[in-house]
Chains A and B, each alone.
Chain A
């Protein structure tokens, strides 16, 4: 317990949390430096996560009791392979987006906003990583709230009418979700007397026999709360405005990481916590499946009609959340695997798409995709990254979107619900319908007369390159992810 390495699990949360406070130091000269602080911190956290993942690969799941107080009284962090996989991916994206923000952000929110951004950004990182790592239900709630406030703050940073309004709506709906979530915690605590997930799980099976109604109500509230936060259709109404109005790095994080983390919490709690008869019950699976299907189609159709690129991407996120929860509803081994892989696959791709879109908007000043003729020649690198992301979204092999699509489809067949295979296939077609024309317009139509794009510094282009490379490599060599995720999923699906 004494060597700093053994504290890694909690360091990934503590370090950004402390740095968040440092970011708000009030000196004028500190304003720009605070962004650098965010980048460095995110890099350090990424380093911790790499070490953690290496340890988990070697020794299996790590359990960490905060303050040395063991469960059931203290708060525990549990870094199992799935958590390690997500910590690694999410912290990596946080690092890259911070790097991107160093050059691009000031143009959007002004110098005075930079410390606020850095603070909220680090706060959000601490909360999301904590959300993934924690093994305590109430602690989950606290992290949910921190992340909600930080995320809303990131939306509101631009301080224009649209973003303030979107932020307000986001906050109200998110708080509704939190209320439902806390209600569920109260019910579960009432019937079991535990908050630690492991103890809760063991106590739930007998509790189910005596208080079936309370457990069912808790599950319903839990799902409701997290579905609002993860923006599952029809509870997604806050998402498109909020994601589109935020400054580019915020959008990338909101669409790429925040929504995914919530979906993951849902997956973890529902599958891990509840006893088999409840977890496998079609009473919640069917509504989730329907909602996912509706999300996939409604999101895509809205995206097809949308001309504003950031809104289009936001609607695409709405439909991708449907993918994430489709695998949960299918509850077959491959389906869960597909969902978990898609969490990170989508995170990487969507973050890249938002960053690329932001870079293109900055270079050309055009937000409407109908004006993107020949943009590929003016801003070649962002446009190429956008193209890679778009193809991955459509599910073209060997990009990572294909891997998610493959496992989700296989999951539909395994669950004996071939209808959802068609859902996945049709939605690929819909994705193609709005992504491909943009790419074609970028590269294959003659450019409008316009300024030659100023050359970007390396720190702005490097994140795009790394993400594009990750998109390809995660598709070509998914064995790392499969190795980390596969065992946990097998354990879940066996129940």
Chain B
């Protein structure tokens, strides 16, 4: 709804922040309409007939929209200072908002065509963010990203057109109209899986991610890793629960594909993360590993797993953006990009490093951080679904996470700095506030006496299952 109108606004530093904030408030205002599992929708049938453009918000859209807008607000605040050392700021902010419009349009889309449209807008706008620096390295990564994006878009297009051919409609409102047994729907499913899985960094379609995320300016990396890959997961949830229905997907065994790919993604991402020496690359590989959880969670087809899944989407958005923002701050102040060079950095930038540590602990899944809770719930969900194997995968990956996050922290706190440390060269408040907010959120998400995000996730999962025809 609102985002499309928002993107055209004159975009400069403050404007981007206020626009994002306005969008956040608008998203919040949707809550009463969707809280009871209701659906708010508006459609423009005269645009792009015969399908029309339609928007539709249910609890899942609301949840995703909320976290998107929240992270955006914090990131645009952070960008005020961070982007001062980058050129072409007008372009950056314009495309930052365009990407926001694309993300929200995608999660609020009421039919596949609208979803496809905004998905494309988001992907193409994000390309401009990725190549912002204009270095040869960034351009190379950008082209890979673009190639994968367009390839993924074609896969989506294929899936959508097959769905349209089979059902005569592209609406996302009637689940289970597709027979889930024969060849053509399966082809459509695979195509949609490839299209959205590509965006979600699913192995083997992940290759663009570790190239594109690190080269982008850090605020953009935070958004790419924190939000945009989740939009891919969102698309998969819609496909499995709203387009097909979980019961028939389960009967046909298609979720097995996603599960196996999810498991591979988890392990592969974590193992490769260990091998990285560049801080942002390590974080990017870690994102791949974490998306593996999300894939597993959504494909287990159990209510609890989906709750954990949605909760993990929320928590990972918070912690990964926190990690990228803090590493951006470190790179900005010290110019050091590799983990080896981080020795003693905690003395120079204690607050930043504190936030980093909190988020890293959350990543590993230590209590009392939110990562612990989401893994716990997905793990229980796996047991619910009778697939203990995936619980083991989760545990194993937690261990791997520890292997690659602890050295960073140890380096930062306990190793003597290589050169003369400059005490207290912390970044400004506009950058500190978003980082600290996110770090605090990682704790709050776990220890709140009444865990609102968790309840939201539960309600969302319940609503999704109800719309998807039971099974809970």
Contacts and interface: CB of A to CB of B under 8 A. Distances in A.
Contacts of B50: 482
Contact of A425 (B116, B157, B164): B157
Interface in A163-207: none
Contacts of A429: 150-151, 154
Contact of A428 (B49, B128, B147, B150): B150
B403 interface: no
A482 B161 contact: no
A398 B117 contact: yes
Size bracket of the A interface: 20 to 34
* Chain A, interface SS category: helix
Contacts of B151: 429
B134 A432 contact: no
Nearest to A394: B150
B154 A425 contact: yes
Given A437-B143, A444-B131, A444-B134, A409 B157 contact: yes
Interface stretch (A139-147, A236-244, A473-481): A473-481
B261 interface: no
Contacts of B46: 477, 479
Contact of A478 (B49, B147, B161, B162): B49
Contacts of B147: 432
Interface string A459-480: 0000000000000000111110
A432 B165 contact: no
B47 A396 contact: no
A413 interface: yes
Interface residues of B, number: 28
B124 interface: yes
A369 B120 CA distance: 25
A129 to B, nearest CB: 28
Given A440-B131, A478-B49, A428 B117 contact: no
Nearest to A409: B161
Contacts of B142: 440, 444
B48 A478 contact: yes
A429 B154 CA distance: 8
A413 B154 contact: no
A362 B147 CA distance: 31
Contacts of A414: 165
Interface string A393-425: 011111000010110011001100000010001
A228 to B, nearest CB: 32
Contacts of B150: 394, 428-429, 432, 436
Given A444-B128, A446-B134, A482-B49, 18 more contacts: A396-B120, A396-B124, A409-B158, A410-B164, A410-B165, A413-B161, A413-B165, A414-B165, A425-B157, A429-B154, A436-B150, A440-B139, A440-B146, A444-B131, A444-B134, A444-B142, A445-B139, A477-B48
Interface of B: 46-50, 113, 116-117, 120, 124, 128, 131, 134, 139, 142-143, 146-147, 150-151, 153-154, 157-158, 161-162, 164-165
Interface of A: 391, 394-398, 403, 405-406, 409-410, 413-414, 421, 425-426, 428-429, 432, 436-437, 440, 444-446, 475-479, 482
